[in-house]
């Protein structure tokens, strides 16, 4: 366990959590890509090569300590309590039906860690189920459907949780296709030895709570320094969430001002970091058609 926190958008990167494309990316097809929030399918082998080159560059050239989601999760599910925490929340009747909650849970409880994590992120199709459960599932789902959906957006690790100064949010995501990503990150913070018992706070968010209209994604959140935080409110982050995060930061003395950037709720302004990006303390790149129409709301 060591120190964690983010205190600037342009400071030296020392540690980072990334996700290497895996089974979930091979699940993308022209027919399901849109529902999984992708514009197109990916060349997975090339994506993995690019990812590995980027990780090597961070480690070897810049001395960054790189954590990979699947490796962290393998350690989590190798701990019986960590495995139970995830499966208790993922393999439930509301997600997989009553039969699935029993049969699927028993099967996944016996998986070795690497295979289990591959399926937690990559999903499970009917054709992959054990023979004694598959025949029942085929009647309910059809032969090639997901019993557990894939999570290809786990790739974007900044969104499902984000660090703000000396703490982190565990984010309720806007689209249902992304919400289980947050459970994985929450389990890592709770059960992985690198984070468990760490000197940081969870400012806001809990996978066990229905947050209603309050949704937050880390691509909208920028701790820019000097006690100031920028948070975009566009397609995926709502004022109900921003106001709660601001209140928690103020309560703990973690920030003095939160500036909410109200953007048009459309795809062009999916996240604040796509239209307003810090390159240095006094230098940003902007997408003018959206930035020129931002309405700022200041919390103190």
Q: Give helix 113-122 / helix 80-90 axis angle, nearest 10°.
A: 30
- Whether 195 shows a pLDDT value over 80: the answer reads yes
How high does pLDDT run on average in the chain? 94
Give the percent of the chain with pLDDT over 90: 85
Give the single-character DSSP code of 144: T
pLDDT digits (tens, 9 = 90+) for 271-289: 999 999 999 999 999 999 9
Are 263 and 275 spatial neighbours (Cβ–Cβ below 8 Å)? Answer: yes
pLDDT digits (tens, 9 = 90+) for 30-61: 999 999 999 999 999 999 999 999 999 999 99
Nearest to 148 by CA among 182, 120, 128, 127: 120
Give the percent of the chain with pLDDT over 70: 99
Q: How are strands ordered across the β-sheet holding 228-233?
A: 221-225, 228-233, 257-262, 295-299
Q: What is the mean pLDDT of residues 145-163?
A: 95
Q: What is this structure's pTM?
A: 0.94
Q: What is the mean pLDDT of residues 202-223?
A: 97
Residue 74 CB neighbours (<10 A): 18
Please report which confidence band the pLDDT of residue 266 belongs to, taking 50, 70 and 90 as the band edges.
confident
pLDDT digits (tens, 9 = 90+) for 58-78: 999 999 999 999 999 999 999
Please report which confidence band the pLDDT of residue 1 belongs to, taking 50, 70 and 90 as the band edges.
very low
More confident: 265 or 1: 265
> What pLDDT sits at residue 57?
97
Q: What is the mean pLDDT of residues 249-253?
A: 97
- Whether 124 shows a pLDDT value over 60: the answer reads yes
> What pLDDT sits at residue 3?
83
Q: 202 pairs with which residues across the strands?
A: 168
């Amino acid at each position: 366990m060591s120190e964690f926190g983010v205190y600037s958008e342009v400071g030296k990167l020392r540690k980072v959590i990334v996700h290497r494309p895996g089974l979930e990316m091979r699940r993308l097809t022209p027919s399901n890509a849109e529902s999984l929030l992708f514009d197109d399918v990916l060349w997975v082998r090339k994506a993995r090569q690019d990812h590995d080159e980027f990780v090597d560059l961070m480690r070897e050239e810049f001395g960054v300590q790189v954590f990979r989601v699947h490796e962290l999760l393998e350690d989590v599910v190798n701990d019986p309590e960590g495995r139970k925490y995830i499966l208790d929340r993922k393999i439930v009747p509301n997600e997989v039906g009553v039969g699935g909650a029993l049969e699927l849970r028993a099967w996944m409880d016996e998986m070795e860690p690497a295979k289990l994590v591959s399926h937690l992120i990559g999903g499970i199709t009917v054709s992959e189920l054990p023979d004694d459960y598959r025949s029942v599932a085929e009647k309910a789902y059809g032969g090639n459907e997901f019993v557990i959906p894939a999570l290809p957006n786990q790739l974007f690790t900044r969104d499902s949780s984000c660090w703000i100064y000396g703490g982190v949010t565990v984010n309720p995501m806007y689209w249902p296709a992304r919400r289980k990503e947050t459970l994985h990150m929450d389990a890592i913070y709770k059960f992985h030895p690198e984070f468990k018992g760490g000197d940081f706070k969870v400012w806001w968010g809990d996978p066990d709570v229905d947050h209603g209209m309050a949704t937050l994604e880390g691509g909208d959140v920028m701790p820019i320094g000097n006690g100031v935080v920028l948070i975009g409110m566009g397609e995926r982050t709502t004022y109900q969430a921003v106001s709660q995060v601001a209140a928690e930061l103020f309560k703990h003395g973690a920030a003095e001002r939160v500036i909410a950037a109200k953007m048009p709720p459309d795809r062009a302004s999916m996240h604040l970091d796509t239209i307003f990006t810090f390159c240095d303390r006094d230098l940003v790149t902007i997408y003018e058609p959206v930035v020129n129409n931002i309405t700022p709301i200041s919390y103190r």
